[in-house]
Amino acid sequence: MTKKIIGLVLILSLIGIVLFNLVFADDINSEKLTFDNPIEGTAIVSPNNNSALESGSTAPNFTLETLEGERVSLSDYKGKKVFLNFWTTWCPPCKKEMPDMQTFHEQYGDEVEILAINSTGNEYKPSDVPAFIEKGNYTFNVLLDKDGAVSNEYMIYTIPVTYFIDSEGVIRDKLTGPMTVDYMIEMMEKLK
């Protein structure tokens, strides 16, 4: 008898939730989400978020450490095309794009600099980062954003995210989601 009562309460609760959403949802949340770049494995940010960096703006400079402890600044790459990629070791779409990033780096590393910024403050264990890079034999530059300051400055709300920066330090495009080799080649050709 108790199971029947619990089941009936659950069913009535679900019906109530559905009815409430049908009747009041438009009044409560009139803001609709759009899918500007729908890629599996990414989150959606409200389209009214005006704080994100825009195409045509100068990429904010920063200084971070590499896995080897060397300090690197974005301004060190002035005059070179840069793919500024934000990622973590536990992110499935990040893991998916890493081999493609390595392939691209091996073929076009003289033309485009990949700066893979690990959101180290969001890692389960920061010690996972060097092991992940070593296991994948990744040779592009990996930078550690230990306190999340650069991720905050670049308005990173989901990962992976890649900013495509031209040789003059100007953001020309942004991708939320994993990159493929073909996409990276296309973006390299678009950048001056």
DSSP states of 2-70 as a string?
A: HHHHHHHHHHHHHHHHHHHHHHHHHHH--PPP--SS--TT-----TT-TTSPPTTSBPPP-EEEETTS-
Residues 69 and 25 in one domain: no
Residues 79 and 150 in one domain: yes
Residues 10 and 88 in one domain: no
Residues 156 and 81 in one domain: yes
Catalytic residue list? 94
pLDDT at 110 over 90: yes
CA dihedral of residues 138, 140, 141, 144 (deg, nearest 10): -40
What residues make up the domain containing 26?
A: 1-30
pLDDT at 24 over 80: no
Q: What is the predicted pLDDT for the residue at 16?
A: 59
Residues 67 and 26 in one domain: no
Residue 137 located in a structural domain: yes
Residues 23 and 83 in one domain: no
Residues 144 and 102 in one domain: yes
Q: What is the predicted pLDDT for the residue at 144?
A: 96
Residue 99 located in a structural domain: yes
Q: What is the predicted pLDDT for the residue at 15?
A: 73
Residue 53 located in a structural domain: no
Residues 86 and 170 in one domain: yes
Q: What is the predicted pLDDT for the residue at 45?
A: 40
Q: Give 123-173 pLDDT, tens digit per residue.
A: 999 999 999 999 999 999 999 999 999 999 999 989 999 999 999 999 999
pLDDT at 90 over 70: yes
Q: What is the predicted pLDDT for the residue at 38?
A: 40
Residue 41 located in a structural domain: no
Q: Give 25-70 pLDDT, tens digit per residue.
A: 444 333 333 334 444 444 444 343 434 588 888 999 999 999 999 9
Mean pLDDT (whole number) for 77-95: 96
Domain count, the chain: 2
How far is CA 84 from its chain centroid? 10
Q: What is the predicted pLDDT for the residue at 53?
A: 80
Residues 4 and 81 in one domain: no
Q: What is the predicted pLDDT for the residue at 40?
A: 45
Q: What is the predicted pLDDT for the residue at 192?
A: 86
User: CB of 72 within 8 A of CB of 179?
Assistant: no
Residues 69 and 151 in one domain: yes
Residue 163 located in a structural domain: yes
Residues 3 and 98 in one domain: no
Mean pLDDT (whole number) for 94-108: 96
CATH number of domain containing 70: 3.40.30.10
Q: Supply the pTM of this predicted model.
A: 0.72
pLDDT band at residue 20 using 50, 70 and 90 as cut-offs:
low
Residue 18 located in a structural domain: yes
Residues 4 and 82 in one domain: no
Residue 4 located in a structural domain: yes
